[in-house]
Chain A
Amino acid sequence: MVEEQRTQTPAPGASPGSSGSSRRRFLVAGAAAGLGVAAGARAEELPVPASSLKMGAPIPPESYGMPIEFEAHVKRRRSDVFKNKQNYSDWSMTPLHQQVGIVTPNGLFFERHHNGVAKIDPEQHRLVIHGLVEKPLAFSMSDLMRYPSVSRFHFMECSGNTLTDWREPKAVTVQQSHGLLSCAQWTGVPLSWLLDEAGVKPEGKWVMFEGGDGSGHLRSIPIEKVMDDALLVYGQNGEMLRAEQGYPLRAFFPGWEGNTCVKWLRRIKVVTEPDQIRGETARYTDPMPNGKWRQYSMEMECKSVITNPSGGMSLKGPGLYEVQGFAWSGRGKVTNVDLTFDGGRTWREAALEEPVLDKCLTRFRYRWNWDGSPAKIASRAKDTTGYVQPTVEEIARVREIVGFVQHHNGIFPWSVAQSGEVANAIA
């Protein structure tokens, strides 16, 4: 059953507001031409395209290649839901519905800064490791790049992803509801190697990471995570980090909330207990019943969302649509993704596209024959720990959902109207 659903060729995903989507026009025209040939009918004679009749653009002496102008509408965007009064402690979101494959291009990778984008000369940059270590150490970038490197594919998600959409639909598109999520191949040095080199003292149980930006962003991480799979990252998707991703150096904790992956990293300090600074008490904590706050909740739990079709799109009449989306878990691999088309009464399993990697975006696909009647569609993921993505109702039974609440990994429904309009249906 699942095998039958596996897609061989990409289908045209409807894309919101993309009047300039030449790709969709091309695919629709191609499909029509194909049918015409099969039926032996005539449509219209295709002219020789202009591109076949002249020389193309020459290769410039040197350049950094950019997407063609027809794709200029594919952009990161700031929040449409919140109007921040300044854009230094702010965020921009990835157009997940326009991403193909599991890797987010560097220019579309989401951003969250606490005091703007720092600009750091790598020649001047220094990283220090100190605190409860036998030998405090300093590293230049060229020192760090002498170590053997490792590369890993992992997602990164902001703890605040989807937080505008708990109680009522606020985000129109999946970029606005889920776009604080991206995925990349990260390259750097295992943090455990450097901490072993400095020699962590037995009483060192937490490790503090501090950025060299104007916010001095700082998070404390348990030593077990640091020594397990944490990386000191300088490369992303085949090139050095972009400035907005922390150039020249950031921490990376696979599967943990984005703000732990401190950018512009300048200092690592081994301590016995976390400092409990503002970012670990008054921010990045979760309201709980009885007036309490849950802190150091840094692991991102299993989550999924349908990206095609999604909010703001419009289906062009009944027929075959390939439903696509992403699933991910901060605790391991995704094992299953189920889809519903009737608001959760029945579910059927989607196909997972390889590669299915640890703490990485996993793409799911399902061929859906829409009969043209109103539908409510959603995805539900399960991970290797056996954890199943909950509904927002299930989350709200154990946490306090009052306004600005982080760690929303709830099942996210979209409604499909008879007209084909797709809309946020979280409530």
Chain B
Amino acid sequence: MRSLDLRSSVAALCVTLAVATAAQAADFGKRPEAGFGRPIGEADLKLWDIDIATPSGGNLPAGEGTVAAGKAVYEAKCLACHGENAAGGPVYGTMVGGIGSMTKSPRVLTPGSMYPYAPILFDYVRRAMPMNAPQSLTADEVYAVAAYIYNLNGLVPADFKMNAQTMPKIPMPNRDGFIRDDRPDTRAERCMTDCKPIGTVADASKPAASGTAAAAGGTGNQVIMGDPKSGAAASPAARP
């Protein structure tokens, strides 16, 4: 018994050492033979399965809403925090404008300027808004309030009918505004003596000693639904 324990300890140690020298991967051991999950069907998850595949609009529910209906929903459920005409209120900043501001400073971030796919607004409003009663709006109400917000942003006309077919087709100005993670993007070295003193963000606007092209150093602040005035000033018509 004792020698058996010893053998298995040695074996375990060898496994540990092998794993320690491997590049990565956690050593969690083998999955236990028994599983304790209980079968469930997709039909049982209808009320839970609320995420929208926003690029395609997959999983958008039936229903429809108009700009006019959305204005009424907005004024009843959203205005208290987000303000008149979604231009910013006591708690949050503007949800209108900023289109064309991504190469400017500040970048003004709104559903109109930032979202690459229109159904993002449906997914978010349904799961999280209004903050004091999430998931309380009907599908018709969510479509309607989305129609209202996108109309204020100049992305859909006043007579637009928002539904599962029309929503994914709205052309979004920031559709191609994203790149996937490509870090590491810095290559610092471990200098020990006679090093360049620690630089600042402002120093990055000056030409790099190594000849690296300096990134365009923005000077202003980016607005994240934070400043009603900046947002309102950006023209919704200024689309790229």
**Residues of A participating in the B interface, judged by any CB pair closer than 8 Å:** 85-86, 88-89, 114-115, 128-130, 135-139, 143-144, 146-148, 150, 152, 166-167, 190, 192-194, 196-198, 208, 210, 214-216, 218, 228-229, 254, 266-267, 269, 271, 273, 275-278, 281-282, 285, 287-299, 301, 332, 336, 338, 340, 343-348, 376, 378, 380, 382, 387-405, 411, 413, 426-427
**In the bound complex, do residue B204 and residue A396 qualify as a contact, i.e. CB atoms below 8 Å apart?**
yes
Q: For the complex formed, measure the closest distance between the CB of B56 and the CB atoms of chain A, giving whole angstroms.
A: 9
**In the bound complex, do residue A115 and residue B131 qualify as a contact, i.e. CB atoms below 8 Å apart?**
yes
| B45-84 interface code vs A (CB 8 A; 1 in, 0 out) | 1001111111100000000000000000000000000000
* Residue in A136, A269, A294, A346 whose beta carbon sits within 8 Å of that of B181 in the complex: A294
What are the residues of chain B within 8 A of A192 when measuring CB–CB? 28, 31
Pair count A-B, CB < 8 A: 276
Q: For the complex formed, measure the closest distance between the CB of B111 and the CB atoms of chain A, giving whole angstroms.
A: 8
**In the bound complex, do residue B188 and residue A394 qualify as a contact, i.e. CB atoms below 8 Å apart?**
yes
Provided the pairs A136-B45, A193-B28, A301-B183 are in contact, do residues A85 and B51 lie with their beta carbons within 8 angstroms? no
Interface stretch (choices B2-10, B101-109, B137-145, B150-158): B101-109
* Residue in B42, B128, B185, B189 whose beta carbon sits within 8 Å of that of A388 in the complex: B189
**In the bound complex, do residue B40 and residue A216 qualify as a contact, i.e. CB atoms below 8 Å apart?**
no
Q: Is B162 an interface residue (CB 8 A)?
A: no
Q: For the complex formed, measure the closest distance between the CB of B212 and the CB atoms of chain A, giving whole angstroms.
A: 6
What are the residues of chain A within 8 A of B106 when measuring CB–CB? 402-403
Between-chain CB contacts (< 8 Å), 20 pairs = A85-B92, A138-B38, A138-B40, A139-B36, A194-B35, A214-B128, A228-B24, A229-B25, A269-B51, A275-B123, A281-B114, A281-B117, A282-B111, A282-B120, A294-B179, A295-B180, A295-B181, A347-B192, A392-B201, A404-B224
Given contacts A115-B134, A393-B199, A400-B218, 11 further A-B contacts (CB under 8 A): A85-B90, A147-B36, A150-B28, A196-B31, A273-B53, A276-B55, A282-B109, A295-B178, A393-B204, A395-B186, A427-B200
**In the bound complex, do residue A167 and residue B202 qualify as a contact, i.e. CB atoms below 8 Å apart?**
yes
Closest residue of chain B to A215, judged by CB? B128
Q: For the complex formed, measure the closest distance between the CB of B208 and the CB atoms of chain A, giving whole angstroms.
A: 6
* Residue in A208, A376, A398, A401 whose beta carbon sits within 8 Å of that of B186 in the complex: A398
What are the residues of chain B within 8 A of A402 when measuring CB–CB? 105-107, 218, 220-222
Provided the pairs A336-B190, A396-B204 are in contact, do residues A128 and B222 lie with their beta carbons within 8 angstroms? no
- Docked Cα-Cα span, A288 to B222, in Å, equals 12
Closest residue of chain A to B39, judged by CB? A135
**In the bound complex, do residue A345 and residue B186 qualify as a contact, i.e. CB atoms below 8 Å apart?**
no
**In the bound complex, do residue B198 and residue A411 qualify as a contact, i.e. CB atoms below 8 Å apart?**
yes
**In the bound complex, do residue B26 and residue A397 qualify as a contact, i.e. CB atoms below 8 Å apart?**
no
What are the residues of chain B within 8 A of A296 when measuring CB–CB? 180-181
Within 8 A of A (CB), among B172-198: 177-186, 188-198
Most buried by A among B90, B103, B106, B128: B128
Closest residue of chain B to A294, judged by CB? B179
- Docked Cα-Cα span, A128 to B103, in Å, equals 42
**In the bound complex, do residue A343 and residue B197 qualify as a contact, i.e. CB atoms below 8 Å apart?**
yes
**In the bound complex, do residue B188 and residue A390 qualify as a contact, i.e. CB atoms below 8 Å apart?**
yes
What are the residues of chain A within 8 A of B199 when measuring CB–CB? 391-394
What are the residues of chain B within 8 A of A198 when measuring CB–CB? 37
- Docked Cα-Cα span, A199 to B188, in Å, equals 42
**In the bound complex, do residue B202 and residue A397 qualify as a contact, i.e. CB atoms below 8 Å apart?**
no
- Docked Cα-Cα span, A417 to B181, in Å, equals 40
What are the residues of chain A within 8 A of B127 when measuring CB–CB? 215-216, 218
Closest residue of chain B to A392, judged by CB? B201
* Residue in A276, A287, A336 whose beta carbon sits within 8 Å of that of B107 in the complex: A287
What are the residues of chain A within 8 A of B102 when measuring CB–CB? 291-292
What are the residues of chain B within 8 A of A273 when measuring CB–CB? 53, 55
* Residue in B115, B120, B128, B195 whose beta carbon sits within 8 Å of that of A345 in the complex: B195
**In the bound complex, do residue A281 and residue B116 qualify as a contact, i.e. CB atoms below 8 Å apart?**
yes
Most buried by B among A139, A277, A392, A405: A277
- Docked Cα-Cα span, A401 to B220, in Å, equals 9
Provided the pairs A208-B51, A344-B196, A346-B192 are in contact, do residues A282 and B115 lie with their beta carbons within 8 angstroms? yes
**In the bound complex, do residue A267 and residue B48 qualify as a contact, i.e. CB atoms below 8 Å apart?**
yes
- Docked Cα-Cα span, A46 to B69, in Å, equals 80
- Docked Cα-Cα span, A260 to B35, in Å, equals 26
**In the bound complex, do residue A340 and residue B45 qualify as a contact, i.e. CB atoms below 8 Å apart?**
no
Closest residue of chain B to A267, judged by CB? B48
**In the bound complex, do residue B190 and residue A289 qualify as a contact, i.e. CB atoms below 8 Å apart?**
no
What are the residues of chain A within 8 A of B39 when measuring CB–CB? 135-138
* Residue in B135, B189, B198, B217 whose beta carbon sits within 8 Å of that of A344 in the complex: B198
* Residue in B116, B124, B135, B215 whose beta carbon sits within 8 Å of that of A397 in the complex: B215
- Docked Cα-Cα span, A136 to B37, in Å, equals 9
**In the bound complex, do residue A393 and residue B116 qualify as a contact, i.e. CB atoms below 8 Å apart?**
no
Provided the pairs A387-B184, A390-B188, A401-B201 are in contact, do residues A278 and B120 lie with their beta carbons within 8 angstroms? yes
**In the bound complex, do residue A277 and residue B55 qualify as a contact, i.e. CB atoms below 8 Å apart?**
no
